Homo-oligomer: A and B are copies of this chain.
Amino acid sequence: MAETTYLDAIRRALFEEMERDANVFVMGQDVAQFGGAFRVTKGLYERFGRLRVVNTPLCESGALGAALGAALVGKRPIVEMQFADFVSCGFNQIVNNIARTYYRWEQPVPFVLRLPFGGGAGAGPFHSQSPEAWFAHVPGLAVVAPSTPADALGMMKSAIRDDNPVVYLEHRFLYRREKESLGEGEQLTPLGKARVAREGRSITILSWSWTLHESLAAAEEVAREGISVEVIDLRTLVPLDEETVMASVKKCSKVLIVHEATATAGYGAELAARIADQAFEWLDGPVKRVTYADRSSPYNKHMEKALLPGREAIVAALRKLARY
């Protein structure tokens, strides 16, 4: 069976949901004929036309606010940022308008924010960011970050159907690199459920998106040395699936948190905090993090690589933790 890339899985989700529900529409810069900077929306315009695949001028805030307006009266907008880094230009609409509407006056806001994010491409400080922690801190936003094509498909479909604003982080490095065979028919991944990506006994890795793959590779590597690592793919960061996380932590008693965002006040800190609170008695070692260094992303690839939390850094951290 043909393999589907992570990118094609997202496109399939958009296509299927737009077919299913005429209220679903896509909006963003260059998303129509051009199909978006990464060509994720390629082909949608031809099928659904300009009122459901809406090119906007270069205005993140305007587009996000407009999405809210449309959502209030029954539409289910999906807004693409050309790069996640540009979301800061529409920040207020997300964190104060979209996120808070339901709590304030109980009007649901079905809305998906597509954020092509992350580094590894030597794209410099403004095309490499991982902004999930900002959104995780805002009550009323769900934050998801699939790492496989199956979840990219299934979580996008679930996000579109959910009556809440969902920040959907899609890793640009995975777009064309991750592939797998997906069945036909309806495939939904539930929001709010983590996935045990690899079973193990002595160290739990908590990760998501690109670093999930680096973590799996690292786990594989240290397995040869007799270190048994369980890898949890969080998939949904908010709300957190504490059940799955704590079960693994309590089983393994050591934890490594791996994410691509910078360390300080990153989402990994929240994971560490919950573990240090809820699983304290089960811990046999310090809760460790492997993350991007607290710097902007340098343009130079080697520099970027030095700061990225890749397989080698994870392996080193696992070894240290195993020895602890």
Binding site for B on A (CB under 8 A): 85, 88-89, 91-92, 95-96, 100, 103-104, 125-126, 133-134, 136-137, 139-140, 238, 240, 261-262, 264-273, 275-278, 280-281, 283, 285-289, 294-296
- Known: A273-B268, A273-B272, A273-B273. Contact between A286 and B278, CB under 8 A? yes
- Could you say which residues of chain B place their CB within 8 Å of the CB of A269? 265, 269-270, 272-273
Say yes or no: A280 contacts B273, CB within 8 Å.
no
Query: Is the pair A286, B295 in contact by a Cβ cutoff of 8 Å?
Result: no
Cα separation A268 to B272 with both chains bound (whole Å): 11
Docked pose: A74 CA to B210 CA in angstroms: 42
Q: Once the chains bind, are B139 and A296 in contact (CB under 8 Å)? A: yes
Q: Are B134 and A134 in contact (CB under 8 A)?
A: yes
How many angstroms from the CA of A285 to the CA of B279 in the assembled complex?
Answer: 10
| Chain B contacts for A91, CB-based, 8 A | 88, 91-92
- Nearest 6 pairs between A and B by C-beta? A272-B273, A276-B276, A280-B286, A88-B92, A137-B265, A91-B91
Closest chain B CB from A146 CB (angstroms): 19
Report the copy number of this chain in the oligomer.
2
12 pairs from A and B in contact (CB 8 Å cutoff): A89-B92, A96-B125, A96-B126, A134-B134, A136-B265, A139-B294, A140-B296, A265-B265, A265-B267, A265-B270, A272-B272, A278-B286
| Docked complex Cα distance between A44 and B227 (Å) | 65
Would you call A277 and B272 a contact (CB within 8 A)? yes
| Distance in angstroms between the alpha carbons of A295 and B140 in the assembled complex | 8
A280, B287: Cβ atoms closer than 8 Å: yes
Given contacts A265-B267, A272-B277, A276-B275, A125 and B137 within 8 Å (CB-CB): no
Q: Which residues of B contact A273 (CB under 8 A)?
A: 268-269, 271-273, 276, 287, 289
Q: Nearest Cβ in chain B — how far from A116, in angstroms?
A: 17
B266 near A137: Cβ-Cβ < 8 Å: yes
Return A36 CB to nearest CB of chain B, in Å.
Answer: 21
Contacts of A134 in B (CB 8 A): 134, 137, 265
Complex CA gap A51/B264 in Å reads: 37
